[in-house]
Amino acid sequence: MSKTYYDPADLRKFGNITEWSEELGNKFFEYYGKVFEEGALTAREKSLIALAVAHTEQCPYCIDAYSKDTLQRGVTKEEMMEAIHVGAAIKSGATLVHGVQMMNKVNKLDG
Amino acid sequence: MAVKSLKKQGSDLAQSNKQLEILSNGIFQTGELPTFKNKISESNQFPLKAKKLEILQINVGYMCNQVCDHCHVDAGPDRKEIMTRDTMRQCLEVIKNSGAHTLDLTGGAPEMNPDFRWFVEEAAKVGIKDFIVRSNLTIIRANKKYYDLPEFFKKHNVHVVSSMPHWTRGKTDKQRGDGVFDKSIKALQELNAVGYGMPNSDFRLDLVYNPSGAFLPGDQAAMEKDFKKALLEDFNIQFHNLFAITNLPIARFLDYLIASENYEDYMYSLVEAYNPAAVKNVMCTNTLSISWDGYLFDCDFNQMLELPVNSKVKHISEYNEELLEGRDIVISQHCYGCTAGAGSSCQGNTIPADA
């Protein structure tokens, strides 16, 4: 057994999930592939979004995959870090905006 | 940034047999890589056969003014191997008598060969359709004696193909050395000034992009668009096409992969990206690579690994088109580099974007 929960080599086995549920697995990969095709957004832009989301989701496999993918698309380190800050800003903003809910509740209970 | 060639450092990897041993046996923690031979056999493409000769690629010497991190030639200022005028004369005979339509001069920095200009002038007389010089750009700014190269290229209608790792200073200098970016930009501006690379110009200026680290090149067309936009906006530079080339795991790039513990992952990346459709047009099938001392190879990479052509004919002085055509191409695990994704060759992707 692996000594850690995450093994980087497992990323190469991602495709194997279809073995235990072929139809759903194939549908997922078909959808996934389609999402990342060039569209209204460029594949480069999509890769940067994926990198930011990989961090907010804290998925180490996704971080490995999209660090490499953005590099392959010529993205610079500065652009990568800015994308992560966008993710971090939304994540912290999402936490803080719930402060309004807390304030509403406190005001109602203890106005 | 390497300061000396592997050869000068006395590295094991300066020996081709050591590189081939690593490529063949791997240094893998888990599992094994399929052999390239078995992989292409699955689509009935083994053995790879040489087609009619179209491109003669001549390496006129390993001497270079740069020592780039990923150089598959292990070129540098300390490399003294250089093609003589006698060997160039033998090449000219072949150019006259073969059906090759493209002549591709490479190095090192080909311009550093003392007979470079003589060879260009002589070769230009024999009716080659596309005469390519692979210039590292900085040579144009390296010394006064090279300052007139843009005009010289123009006079002989040379097709200039130049290395440019990225449109940013940091990534370019990291791979090719401090100051390379600024000198390259200046050289590109000088080439533009004499008409090279302009939209309707016949003076062809193409750029070569190869990744700065242990990853594969992205989509060639998208990269070309990004390069064109950035170089035009930032430096008013124009060029025709961008060729995206995969770094092959040999020489200094192999050394880097091993030292940075990226070798295993990189080889898996190449195998995962293997594309049987990219095999059809790999450059070795219509190209012959000639070393500085006149020996014949299927490609520049085989030349560096000292894997000669599989033919009775071994040297340019014995050139015989009939004996060379249809020969079995010599392959090894590094060949995965040319068949990953949309394929990689000295002319970029081997699968056109609209295919």
Cβ–Cβ contact B211 with A under 8 A: yes
- A20 min Cα distance to partner chain B (Å): 22
Nearest CA in chain A to B29: A9
pLDDT of residue B225: 96
pLDDT of residue B330: 97
Q: If pLDDT is split at 50, 70 and 90, which confidence band does B30 have?
A: low
Nearest CA in chain B to A45: B222
Considering only CB atoms, B168 lies closest to which of A9, A38, A76, namely A76
In this complex, do B213 and A71 lie within 8 Å of one another by their Cβ atoms?
Answer: yes
pLDDT of residue B223: 95
Q: Which of these, B81, B37, B77, lies nearest to B59 by C-alpha position?
A: B81
Residue B28 neighbours by CB distance under 10 Å: 12
Lowest mean pLDDT among A23-27, B94-98, B274-278: B94-98
Q: pLDDT (tens digit, 9 = 90+) per residue, B135-185?
A: 999 999 999 999 999 999 999 999 999 999 899 999 999 888 999 999 999
Phi–psi pair at B340, nearest 5 degrees: -85, 140
C-alpha distance from residue B310 to each of B41, B50, B315 (Å): 19, 10, 12
Does residue B2 surpass a pLDDT of 80?
A: no
Lowest mean pLDDT among A51-55, B95-99, B302-306: B95-99
- A24 min Cα distance to partner chain B (Å): 23
Does residue B36 surpass a pLDDT of 90?
A: yes
3-class secondary structure for B226-290?
A: HHHHHHHHHHCCCCCCEEECCCCCCHHHHHHHHHCCCHHHHHHHHHHCECHHHHCCCHHHCEEEE
Q: Which of these, A68, A76, A51, lies nearest to B165 by C-alpha position?
A: A76
Nearest CA in chain B to A67: B215
Longest dimension (CA), chain A: 58
- B253 min Cα distance to partner chain A (Å): 17
In this complex, do B219 and A74 lie within 8 Å of one another by their Cβ atoms?
Answer: no
**Residue A109 has which token pair?**
């209970």
pLDDT of residue B3: 66
Mean of all residue pLDDT scores within chain B: 93
Q: pLDDT (tens digit, 9 = 90+) per residue, B183-212?
A: 999 999 999 999 999 999 999 999 999 998
Cβ–Cβ contact B28 with A under 8 A: no
Considering only CB atoms, A68 lies closest to which of B215, B219, B223, namely B215
In this complex, do A68 and B223 lie within 8 Å of one another by their Cβ atoms?
Answer: no
Q: pLDDT (tens digit, 9 = 90+) per residue, B107-145?
A: 999 999 999 999 999 998 888 999 999 999 999 999 999
In this complex, do B215 and A76 lie within 8 Å of one another by their Cβ atoms?
Answer: no
Contact assessment for residue B288 and residue B57, using Cβ atoms and an 8 Å cutoff: yes
In this complex, do A72 and B166 lie within 8 Å of one another by their Cβ atoms?
Answer: no
Does residue A63 surpass a pLDDT of 80?
A: yes
pLDDT of residue A1: 56
pLDDT of residue B28: 67
Q: pLDDT (tens digit, 9 = 90+) per residue, B233-246?
A: 999 999 999 999 99
pLDDT of residue B354: 65
Q: Per residue in B212-243, is it b (16+ CB within 10 Å) or e — as a string? A: bbbbbbbbbbbbbebbbeebeeeeebbbbbbb
Read off the amino acid at residue B9.
Answer: Q
Which residues have C-beta within 8 Å of that of residue B110, sequence separation ≥ 6?
B60, B61, B116, B133, B134, B135
Nearest CA in chain B to A73: B218
In this complex, do A42 and B223 lie within 8 Å of one another by their Cβ atoms?
Answer: no
The ipTM value here is: 0.83
Q: pLDDT (tens digit, 9 = 90+) per residue, B282-293?
A: 999 999 999 999
pLDDT of residue B175: 87
- Give the A:B interface size as CB pairs under 8 Å: 35
Residue B92 neighbours by CB distance under 10 Å: 16
Torsion of CA B340, B276, B355, B352, to 10 degrees: 40
Q: Do the strands B102-106 and B242-244 form a parallel or antiparallel pair, or are they unpaired?
A: unpaired
Beta bridge partners of B340: B274
**Residue B197 has which token pair?**
């690379």
For residues B327-352, give the mean pLDDT. Answer: 92
Q: pLDDT (tens digit, 9 = 90+) per residue, A88-107?
A: 999 999 999 999 999 999 99
Read off the amino acid at residue A31.
Answer: Y
Phi–psi pair at B345, nearest 5 degrees: -150, 175
Chain A contact set for B171 (CB, 8 A): 76
Q: pLDDT (tens digit, 9 = 90+) per residue, B213-226?
A: 999 999 999 999 99
In this complex, do B222 and A76 lie within 8 Å of one another by their Cβ atoms?
Answer: no
Nearest CA in chain A to B214: A68
For residues A47-71, give the mean pLDDT. Answer: 97
Query: For chain A, how many residues are written?
Result: 111
3-class secondary structure for B105-137?
A: EECCCHHHCCCHHHHHHHHHHHCCCEEEEEECC
Q: Which residues of chain A have a Cβ shorter than 8 Å from any chain B Cβ?
A: 9, 12, 38, 42-44, 68, 71-74, 76-77
Q: pLDDT (tens digit, 9 = 90+) per residue, B6-18?
A: 999 999 999 999 9
Read off the amino acid at residue B266.
Answer: Y
Nearest CA in chain A to B246: A72
Phi–psi pair at B180, nearest 5 degrees: -65, -40
Cβ–Cβ contact B21 with A under 8 A: no
